[in-house]
Amino acid sequence: MKLKKKVEHIDYPLYEPLEKLLTKLYHKIPNLTFESLNAGFIGEHKVIREVIVFNGNEQVGTIEVEHRSFRNNGRCDVYTIHSPRIRNRIGSRHDKVTKLPEEALKTSVRVFTHTSTAAEVIDKIRHKMSSEISGIHYNAVRQAERVGEDSIIPLMELALMVGRGEVPTLSAELTKMVAKPNLDKFMNTARIAMSVNTDYKNGSGIVVKEERDGTLLSVVLHDACGLTDEMRVQKFKDTYEMSELYQTKLAMLRMLEHKQPVESIGVKFAIDNTNWYYLTGGEIITTS
């Protein structure tokens, strides 16, 4: 199989040293696929210099090749292998940088051969989702605070004018705010974001990731009831293999924008060009 069939979103030629490395790597690990990430000019030609590496559906790292200048050694190619499996004590924690293509291949084979264990999948997903959901909660609260601050000052000035027996003059901004107040809306958004964030922190519900091949990866957040890590990580060919409750919640979130939390439902994210969903546990709460 030609290498270009294993590289997705390829708009420019692969930089030759990168193509040679990927070809050797693919022959050693046939399950690997690649997706172009960054392109740049080498001389007068624009080429792909960096790719994302997938082992099956799992993104396991990146490979970049740059043609750099060095003060005493002229110009040469520099290979950067990035993977969470690389753990350096100093320097870039998850990078292996080398000028030797043989060393780059050796490192790539070592770090890209194995897919993550169930425990590693759970840790990775919880880390990604924690920062995303906490960020939504924080931003919603700050927005409500800013709107509250903008509202209270003109209202206090209005009250002082009335207290002094003056005829109040409403500015266009204040008139708009009094006629159509929006503080309640932002306060409600902050409350919903807090509710979803609290459910997540309590380990209620599941996280679902839409894989590149159309399947779904599901992780049960709570580790109670004697569930092993392997039992908490499930793969579904279709939503119909999920429980009816989670099918409904997932269908609802698919119709919404990213980062729009819904109480007792969850929230949708786009992470690494992939749709992720946090689905809360428990029944759907409806308000009249």
**pTM of this structure:** 0.73
Give the model's pLDDT for residue 180. 47
Any residues with CB less than 8 A from the CB of 33 and at least 6 apart, and which?
6, 7, 8, 54
Reading the block at residue 25, the tokens are 């790597």
Give the model's pLDDT for residue 168. 58
Reading the block at residue 217, the tokens are 């990866």
Summarize pLDDT for 130-147 with one digit per residue, the tens.
999 999 999 998 887 777
CA–CA distance, 73 with 79 (Å, rounded to integer): 16
CA–CA distance, 238 with 224 (Å, rounded to integer): 26
Reading the block at residue 262, the tokens are 């819904």
Which single residue is written with the structure tokens 């030759």?
16
Cβ–Cβ < 8 Å for 102, 108: no
Using 70 as the pLDDT threshold, list the residues of the chain that sit under it: 1-10, 89, 91, 148-183, 224-225, 287-288
Pairing label, strands 58-70, 74-82: antiparallel
Give the model's pLDDT for residue 177. 55
Buried b (16+ CB within 10 A) or exposed e, 99-112: eebeebbebbeebb
CA nearest neighbour of 249 among 281, 271, 216, 215: 281
Any residues with CB less than 8 A from the CB of 87 and at least 6 apart, and which?
93, 94
Cβ–Cβ < 8 Å for 15, 49: yes
CA 177 to chain centre: 36
Any residues with CB less than 8 A from the CB of 233 and at least 6 apart, and which?
118, 121, 122, 217, 218, 219, 220
Any residues with CB less than 8 A from the CB of 245 and at least 6 apart, and which?
283, 284
